[in-house]
Amino acid sequence: MQLEADRAPDEQRVALITGAGRGLGAAIARELAPDHRLLLGARTPAGLESILAELPGATGWPVELTDYAAVAAATGPIDRLDVLVHNAGIADLGTIAESSVRQWRETLEANLIAVAELTRLLLPALRAAGGHVVLVNSGAGLRANAGWASYAASKFGLRAFGDALRLEEPSLRVTSVHPGRIDTDMQRAIVAGEGRAYEPDQFLRPETVARAIRTAIDTPRDAHPTEIVLRPW
């Protein structure tokens, strides 16, 4: 097993970030870019054009995460991975009375099942590096509010997945990050659906959450940052 101590002094760490085309994912990419070789994920190449132009040293990794044959093909060439940041996800909100089987399936598929499968496929590469898995969860992974049932269920499940992975893979570090609402395009859509005016100052800045993730990744190996909870001030 190749651990951090086995890495050449000038060898860059490798990080894969899903949902990296904009918002929090792009902020995480900017935070890690100075000293990581980045693989930046999105559904399509077009979704990565802007961030790749900004970070020319990064490599695009466009794949639909719920297309498991495509994910298996895309992960095949990755033989060592120091950091895996699961940031991609969806928020299709509504009351239980208004929900559908399709909504529940798509939410659980995107926010939980795809995460589990991508992690499973990358375990050999993560083990080879003594890697770090970062799960971008939510405050909804700690408590469920009215109108958020399917989303919260997916995030509660994501937390359970992280807890199990941490115990099953003792050579890896696994951090669940539970931010409150973040100022992103997704948040704008959520607030519009709530029928409220959008006030950016009410929400966390993506850069703030990205910095917290960076701090977890940089924590010395004698400590295991298992959970980070952030709330807007």
Catalytic residue IDs:
151
Three-state SS at 197:
coil
CB 136 within 8 A of CB 158: no
Q: What share of the chain is helix, strand, coil (3-state, %, to 5)?
A: 50, 15, 35
- Specify the residue for token string 């519009």: 192
Angle at 65 between CA 170 and CA 39, to 5 degrees: 70
Question: What is the signed CA dihedral for 148, 29, 222, 224, rounded to 10 degrees?
Answer: 10
Question: 199 phi and psi, to 5 degrees?
Answer: -120, 100
